[in-house]
Amino acid sequence: MERIASFCVDHTTLEPGMYLSRRDGDIMTWDIRMKKPNQGDYLSPACAHTIEHLFATRARNSRYGAHVIYVGPMGCLTGFYLLTQGLTDAEALDLVRECFAWMAEYDGPIPGASAPECGNYLMMDPIAARAECRAMLPVLAAADSSHLRYRA
């Protein structure tokens, strides 16, 4: 079998940031890397689950919502994948910055956190989610939409 694209990225040099992971026609898969891989500091499952609910809800309700295909956590608990269609790099970065700024301050009920809506609705940690999103804000503020690619 062929190696998938995300396994071809050197995770020993990967830093937190936003990167174009792959392009499939006009669908872009964005790597929203919140943690440096393999360093022992990961998102907790409850934190990642909370961010997933918040990020997906906010992204799909933003001005770019019609362009959002998917938002979901990485299994390694170091970040998220965001799939978009029809957005420029600058628009995708704007979307992520706006979502993380909102999540860093959000202090309300977690959307979709009920038994009829979610398969593990009690596994939530909004305090950790806010803290992790706040920590990501300077990383996203420093990102340049013309350089959202993995370093070789």
| Inside any domain, residue 1 | no
| Inside any domain, residue 126 | yes
| Inside any domain, residue 44 | yes
CATH number at residue 31: 3.30.1360.80
Write the pLDDT tens digit of every residue in 96-123.
Answer: 999 999 999 999 999 999 999 999 999 9
Domain range for 92: 14-140
| Inside any domain, residue 145 | no
Q: Count structural domains, the chain.
A: 1
What pLDDT, on the 0 to 100 scale, is given for residue 70?
Answer: 98
Write the pLDDT tens digit of every residue in 54-88.
Answer: 999 999 999 999 999 999 999 999 999 999 999 99
What pLDDT, on the 0 to 100 scale, is given for residue 152?
Answer: 64
| Inside any domain, residue 108 | yes
Long-range contacts of 8-12 (CB under 8 A, 24+ apart): 9/150, 11/37, 11/38, 12/37, 12/38
